[in-house]
Structure 1
Amino acid sequence: MNRWWRLLRHRWMDRHDSARAVPDDMAERLTRRVTASEARHTGEVRLVVEAALPTSYLLRIGPREPLAAVVRDRALAWFGRLRLWDTEHNNGVLIYLLLAEHAIEFVADRALARRVPPETWQAIVDRLGAQLRAGGFEDGLTQVLEEVSALLVQHFPSDAAAPGENELPDAVLRA
């Protein structure tokens, strides 16, 4: 029965739910924060808020493939689709929120993943989850952008003499 409820929940939710979670004015403020963050380091940050999984992903969830693995695969798919893997310094970060499952996933490209241990990413995810559960959607996302930015500044600071080019759009993607 749980499988059917999950399927209905995901089919019921759509892009409008993402727009309600992150209204236009909030999306604009978050986009400005991403832009300001990227001025301080050479990394690329993308924020994706997706309402629901496609049916093909939902049908994979089961005893052999748990929800967490499917959510990770979806985040990796977005990482590839948005070309975060294709940045000059291999230091892109995807912050992925799946509204239907209240799931959060981070994907860091190779160069950054080598420098930041998984426990650090998990701690950031845990803090974001607590903020979201408390109703602080914008505050939580702002905090996480600051934390990710601090990691990127620590490991990949921008060179003031030769600032890097913005390789990818900064806009929040609501799907």
Structure 2
Amino acid sequence: MSRFFRHLFTTRTAASRVFPATTLKAIESCITEGEKTHRAELRVIIEPALSMDAIRAKTAPRERALELFGRYGIWDTEENCGVLVYINLADRQVEIVADRGVAPKVDQKEWDTICLTMTEGFSQGRFQQSTLDALTSINQLLKQHFPLNGPRENQLPDEPILL
């Protein structure tokens, strides 16, 4: 029942308070700068809360992240190297979904550590810094496994999505 109320009362306005326009712009800049060092594509989706139908269906944050990964075409990159950072504020969860070109190269423990660092930072009210630190870590991992080897086309938008 507590999950139901958390999702009911976590609004887009509340999300805009912890992820204001300046923070969204900083996230976009971090993605843009990071993608200058590797061939992968990175997206951030912030969702204040799930719909009541999703809550009744007991949709887990990982399920929702996978759904959004498909809906926003993060899988649709030349080298299958898309990575989604999904933030669900009501559940206080972060999920990282890596496409099939990235997943075998990065150990799940590394993604889990980044997610944990973010959620711990969020619990201390450090939404912007925790997100930027996580994106910097992700960009470093992607640079290791997908180093830039010439000009690259930006295949996915860099701006974060606030649902």
- Residue identity in the other structure for 1:47: V
Structure 1 counterpart of 2:77, from 54, 72, 87: 87
Q: Distance in 2 between matches of 1:56 and 1:8?
A: 13
Q: Distance in 2 between matches of 1:27 and 1:71?
A: 21
Aligned twin of 2:86: 96
Q: Distance in 1 between matches of 2:16 and 2:124?
A: 19
- Residue identity in the other structure for 2:89: L
Aligned twin of 1:29: 26
Q: Distance in 1 between matches of 2:37 and 2:64?
A: 29
Task: Give the number of aligned pairs.
Answer: 163
Tell me the TM-score normalised to structure 2 length.
0.94
Aligned twin of 1:165: 153
Give the drift of 1:79. 0.6
Structure 2 counterpart of 1:118, from 78, 85, 108: 108
Aligned twin of 1:64: none
- Residue identity in the other structure for 1:79: F
How many percent identity over aligned positions?
A: 34
Which SS does the other structure have where 1:85 is aligned? coil
Aligned twin of 1:132: 122
> Could you say what the CA RMSD is over the residues aligned between the two structures, in angstroms?
1.3
Aligned twin of 1:73: 63
Tell me the TM-score normalised to structure 1 length.
0.88
Give the drift of 1:8. 3.2
Report which of the two structures shows the higher radius of gyration computed on alpha carbons.
1
More helix by share: 1
**Cα deviations by residue, 1:21-59 (Å, 9 ceiling, x for unpaired):** 210011111111110011111111111110000122101
Q: Distance in 1 between matches of 2:125 and 2:113?
A: 19
Which SS does the other structure have where 2:103 is aligned? helix
1:18 maps onto 2:11 in alignment: no
- Residue identity in the other structure for 1:58: I
Structure 2 counterpart of 1:60, from 51, 57, 77: 57
Q: Is the 8 A contact 2:6 2:91 kept in 1?
A: no
Q: Distance in 1 between matches of 2:80 and 2:86?
A: 18
Which SS does the other structure have where 1:114 is aligned? coil
Q: Distance in 2 between matches of 1:59 and 1:31?
A: 33
Give the drift of 1:130. 1.6
Q: Distance in 1 between matches of 2:158 and 2:13?
A: 21
Q: Is the 8 A contact 2:61 2:91 kept in 1?
A: no
Range with greater deviation from structure 2 (42-51 or 10-19): 10-19
Q: Distance in 2 between matches of 1:47 and 1:134?
A: 20
Q: Is the 8 A contact 2:94 2:119 kept in 1?
A: yes
